[in-house]
Structure 1
């Protein structure tokens, strides 16, 4: 598989099946939460493909890493196709935490369970897109904005005030974001997204995964 090839839903789920098979052979069930573009590929029609899979290993971390490395080689996937870069913005279980909902069990053929995939609420994904702080010349800025506007349509969180409230819920412990006051950078970004939303005329996307509050109690 070429290093620059994007991962579509079939490629991602085929890899999940392979991970699940190896895990079940070892007598374990892996739990993983999927975020970012890969979550949008799996759980909605916002994206057709993603450059990588942003995952957080919720259990058996060391074995999960070894199994993912093995599947990467066996299926000739790009190095880093699955990574935990999102972990710094996805709080672990506790308070606060993203509202994780079970998405799918793998393998999909009904054989011994080896992998459970969880996804956050779309509201939490929106908060992550708003929080993203890429360099001004990073090409992914445009993709982040497009994703954010689609998630605004999906969730109805489409005003400056609603987005600030969402950020307070999802990231109350990161100073300089919206607490104690909205930072200048964050304020400009939110206003820009609201302007993009108001100027967009695309249809509202579909969400096929579980729904819930942005944060779990």
Structure 2
């Protein structure tokens, strides 16, 4: 068995190729909404690894073969989170005001090579992704804080946000109650820069195969 490891972009794409192939072989097309660092890994130029993959729950649309395929991929590829590398516990943190059609974007279909598609992967729009990160605001987390700070800083620039109130307006679009919290404004003022960088500008989303 391979050494347990975080998931980089190549491994993430390969894993979804395998999952998409399994879906196609079972005559199924599954739509998966991907969030967090994994969505940024798919569709940005500023996130490179993750421990697991946050997805919206498939609910009743999850086929019987799905969990076994997920576990087999984890075992073969040596993912750190093992069979839990595909995590659907994120539903609680999503906005009930967001819709798939208006607030998500089709990143790609899988497998990437072949005539039959099995999985369609959607990622949040840049606005919705920023709102999700601002709601969680895990910048003080000892293990994830620095990465979260970098993600938010890049998303502020991607969304052309130039002041705190503009950031709060985006947050309020999806999470009206969270946008009223003064602690978020305080952290924004202390930790983030609202000037546009001249070099190595971040981008998101971008379709990439």
Q: TM-score range by the shorter chain?
A: 0.7 to 0.9
Q: For residue 190 of structure 2, what is the aligned residue in structure 1?
A: 192
In the alignment, structure 1 segments of 5+ residues that lack a partner are 211-217
CA distance in 2, matches of 1:11, 1:141: 24
Shift of residue 114, structure 1, vs aligned partner: 0.7
Q: For residue 215 of structure 1, what is the aligned residue in structure 2?
A: none
Shift of residue 62, structure 1, vs aligned partner: 5.1
Q: For residue 39 of structure 2, what is the aligned residue in structure 1?
A: 39
CA distance in 2, matches of 1:136, 1:47: 19
The 5-angstrom pairing of residues 191-210 of structure 1 reads 191-194=189-192, 196-198=193-195, 203-209=200-206
The 5-angstrom pairing of residues 37-116 of structure 1 reads 37-58=37-58, 60-61=61-62, 63=64, 64-78=66-80, 79=82, 80-91=84-95, 95-97=97-99, 99-116=103-120
Shift of residue 203, structure 1, vs aligned partner: 3.0
**Structure 1's 133 and 56: CA in aligned 2 closer, same or farther, altered over 3 A?**
same
In the alignment, structure 2 segments of 5+ residues that lack a partner are none
For these two proteins, the number of residue pairs brought into alignment is 200
TM-score, structure 2 length as denominator? 0.83
Q: Deviations over 1:3-27 (max 9, x none)?
A: 3x22221100100011011111221
Shift of residue 192, structure 1, vs aligned partner: 2.8
Does the CA-based 8 Å contact 1:130-1:190 persist in structure 2? no
Matched, 1:142 2:146: yes
CA distance in 2, matches of 1:27, 1:52: 26
**Structure 1's 97 and 67: CA in aligned 2 closer, same or farther, altered over 3 A?**
same
Task: Say which structure is richer in helix.
Answer: 2
Q: For residue 9 of structure 1, what is the aligned residue in structure 2?
A: 9
CA RMSD, Structure 1 to Structure 2 (Å): 2.4
Does the CA-based 8 Å contact 1:90-1:97 persist in structure 2? no
**Structure 1's 84 and 53: CA in aligned 2 closer, same or farther, altered over 3 A?**
same
Does the CA-based 8 Å contact 1:53-1:83 persist in structure 2? yes
